[in-house]
Structure 1
């Protein structure tokens, strides 16, 4: 091979590499990885979790799945209400959920709605049962509720909706005591 042919091959290789490097790629996230363990019976997990029923849906709400019974409902974003986004892999979320449950049992407590994101329903039900958390919880598989709140990707993320409809992000979670929750919703 002479020098001219070598240069021609080099230019062609670099050209192809440049096209591959600049070729547009689909940036939409793919599906969640399929777990290696066999799928569980979600209805059995619902029974085991013993979650309190979700509040019936309301027109204009965000479409979510009630974890307690699997029904689709339109979650009304009327205050006072405390919305808590969480995931099964989030360690601070696991520590905070029992605190939110304890707070919600107190007389005069603001209703608390945990919203499962970035996890499978079955995994969320399993975790809630293990933690003994019985709050009426929802699953936002399409991430519509989190988009509506423009919530950050970091978890947990907690929002307080006041009676007048004002939405405020609570920036100092995770909560470690029910008194912290009470103070945050005043």
Structure 2
């Protein structure tokens, strides 16, 4: 004959429930990071958010509106090998290329450079006494020469910037970019982006003032 198990008393039930709740609360507290850990986590997250905002702001800026740090300063003393075999390279060192002159940074793989090439050719025809110096930026010499053969070569002198160091010294944001260097060898004007009708008009005025 089986003897029935006595039912739990109310006091015992309450005690068991209270103990289970306390255990659950302790487990939750153990799983929750302490306040110091949250503060350590928030610091790098805040830094990452700040960097992201700065990057987004930079991407929204128009490179044409960004000023050049070289305006009013001497053109960097650059000496670049020629793009064409058997010809002299581009010498921007003191006593090399006499100003005023136009310095144009371009590349055959640059679509805007193809679009602006007729403007450069028109400038060369209209101003035969101008010196137009070109820098082929990170370009394969054969492809750059083919570009000029196909679309015309307006340059008085042209050099290769195979590794991009010359463009870096000029503070170039991206091709194409155009500079005016005055008779004293100082950069007086910079235009980022392809030359259009408005930029051509300003370039002509800047070259006249650079004499």
| TM norm structure 2 | 0.51
Pick the aligned partner of 1:142 from 159, 163, 186.
163
- Write 1 or 2 for the structure with the bigger share of helix: 2
Q: Which runs of 5+ in 2 are unaligned?
A: 1-75
CA shift in 2, pair 1:110/1:71, >3 Å: closer
Task: Report how far residue 88 of structure 1 moved.
Answer: 1.4
Task: Report how far residue 169 of structure 1 moved.
Answer: 3.8
Q: Give secondary structure in 2 for the equivalent of 1:129.
A: helix
Q: Which residue of 2 aligns with 1:118?
A: 138
Task: Report how far residue 161 of structure 1 moved.
Answer: 0.6
- Aligned 8 A contact 1:103 1:109 in 2: no
Distance across 1 between alignment mates of 2:120 and 2:179: 13
- Aligned 8 A contact 1:100 1:181 in 2: no
CA shift in 2, pair 1:134/1:165, >3 Å: closer
Q: Which residue of 1 aligns with 2:43?
A: none
Task: Report how far residue 98 of structure 1 moved.
Answer: 2.7
Distance across 2 between alignment mates of 1:67 and 1:182: 26
Moved over 3 A (4+): 70-74, 177-181
Q: Which residue of 1 aligns with 2:194?
A: 174
Q: Highest Rg: 1 or 2?
A: 2
Distance across 2 between alignment mates of 1:174 and 1:184: 17
Q: Pairwise CA RMSD of aligned residues?
A: 2.6
Q: Which residue of 1 aligns with 2:117?
A: 97
Q: Which residue of 1 aligns with 2:149?
A: 129
- Aligned 8 A contact 1:103 1:179 in 2: no
CA shift in 2, pair 1:131/1:180, >3 Å: farther
Distance across 2 between alignment mates of 1:124 and 1:74: 15
Pick the aligned partner of 2:83 from 67, 71, 82.
67
Structure 1 residues 78-87 or 134-143, which shifts more?
Answer: 134-143
Q: How many matched pairs?
A: 126
Distance across 2 between alignment mates of 1:111 and 1:128: 17
Structure 1 residues 108-117 or 159-168, which shifts more?
Answer: 108-117
